[in-house]
Amino acid sequence: MTTDLSLSTLSQLPQRVSVPSYDRAQLSPGILHIGMGNFHRAHQAAYLDRLFDLGVDHDWAIVGAGVMPFDAERRAMLQAQDWLTTVVELSPETYAARVTGAMIDFCPIDAQAIIQRIADPAIRIVSLTITEGGYFIDAATGEFDAAHPDIRQDAAAPDDPVTVFGILLAGLRQRRERGHPPPTILSCDNIPENGHVTRQALAGLAGLICPEVQGWVMDEVAFPNSMVDRITPATSAAKRTMVAETFGIIDAAPVVCEPFTQWVMEDNFPLGRPSLEKVGVQFVDDIAAYETMKLRILNASHAALSYPAALMGHDCVHDAVADRDIFDWVQQLMRTEVIPVLAPIPGVDYDHYLATCLDRFANPEVRDTIARLCQDGSNRQPKFILPTITDALAQGRPLDGLALEVALWCRYCAESDALDDPRADRLREAARHAQQSPAGFLALTDVFGTLGQQDRFAQAFARQVEAVWNGDARSVLRGFLDRKAA
């Protein structure tokens, strides 16, 4: 028997499904979250749900928000089930479902409605999962891209914004005008120093509108850095069917994820925060080293396995990890070229962390896809791979494997019929000519910045492009491994 998910049907769900023990009618909003995708609902919202289940901090419930066209469909799905989400944790040892209830509302998909929520003094944190490409970073400089057309539009019409940062700034301006202190702005995206990047974007836009407001943003608004981690694939029709058949729940937007979860934050919340340390969140003074570890080992490993796996015909991540050539390639790249450039963290064993990551990738129950990992490479490579190349150059360390990773991405861009990237057309064109002109691919400065002008990297990339185009992906990986073993 299956049951449509709603607040009125929670008592009808099978006993094996965990449900909130708290009274959702007693929750009140404290957080506005922009970007109500799978990751947020499996991660931040799940932590808050567990906290509320302890009987504390019920004034920190979530109000959802979204600015993209697809957010309207997700909002309608969640509204029909009283904003509840089924979170299913899967591994060979775990098959567990919990209905989470930390979100109690979702703004209409309308900039003015979101602005009014931000202006509400009950909202003390505004959090974001807007993807790595949503922060208007100029790859050539690493700074805020003030020339982006959407930013220019918001600067010209600040009361009618189209970007997340325009909406944030409009809400903050209203709070300032009404004499209310600003909320903390908390990025939960996978970008280095995400709090600093968020501050840079918001202050940069403010500077185009009103220098006085820019100074207020820089002086008064808190932007703690955070590091988040949980593998959370997209929800397919097959996953919705699995949730119905296995757990008896008809949920239009369930989330399937791995059991592992991690959240590390700087403790900088002037208007207070929920006591998330009670449910396993780590609060630290400086998050930079933890963040770098995750981006350059876990996320970089995902990138390193995804492109050869796609070229070799793998569909699922666990199948790619089971391929010995891919597994050995990722492990060797991380151990010989990535981990050696990382600053040590007291008490942290990077090799053990890498082994944990690979073990998580091998989880067959999550069925994470290679296609998901290949998405948005032009925004992910500058966050996960290229900084290590920059450090390797500065330290005089080997980078042939890193150059090979970029060359494999290049060939994927040239051959993929479904290149899912905001720069797809330019990437495909440059990649298809890379065999004759490898420098042309590196000349995409909005991806590579000035890195393509570094001779040692440019030469290594040219060598690896030649190898990748003259052989198949498997033979290229084996060649790299043989050279490392020699």
pLDDT, one tens digit per residue, over 100-136 is 999 999 999 999 999 999 999 999 999 999 988 899 9
- pLDDT given at position 141: 81
Average pLDDT, the chain: 96
Global confidence as pTM: 0.87
pLDDT class for 139, splitting at 50, 70, 90?
Answer: confident
Start-to-end CA span in the chain (Å): 60
Does 192 score more than 90 pLDDT?
no
Nearest alpha carbon to residue 37 among 6, 71, 72: 71
Q: Are the C-beta atoms of 62 and 31 separated by less than 8 Å? A: yes
Q: Quote the DSSP letter at residue 174.
A: H
- pLDDT given at position 337: 98
Percent pLDDT > 90 in the chain is: 93
**Strand 85-91 relative to strand 94-100: parallel, antiparallel, unpaired?**
antiparallel
Does 1 score more than 90 pLDDT?
no
Q: Quote the DSSP letter at residue 337.
A: I
Q: Quote the DSSP letter at residue 184.
A: E
pLDDT class for 484, splitting at 50, 70, 90?
Answer: confident
pLDDT, one tens digit per residue, over 61-80 is 999 999 998 999 999 999 99
pLDDT class for 315, splitting at 50, 70, 90?
Answer: very high
Chain mean position to CA 281: 18
- pLDDT given at position 383: 92
pLDDT class for 191, splitting at 50, 70, 90?
Answer: confident
Q: Are the C-beta atoms of 18 and 99 separated by less than 8 Å? A: yes
Query: How far is Cα 197 from Cα 206, in angstroms, rounded to an integer?
Result: 14
pLDDT, one tens digit per residue, over 320-375 is 999 999 999 999 999 999 999 999 988 999 999 999 999 999 999 999 999 999 99
pLDDT class for 37, splitting at 50, 70, 90?
Answer: very high
- Measured from the Cβ of residue 440, the count of other Cβ atoms closer than 10 Å reads 15
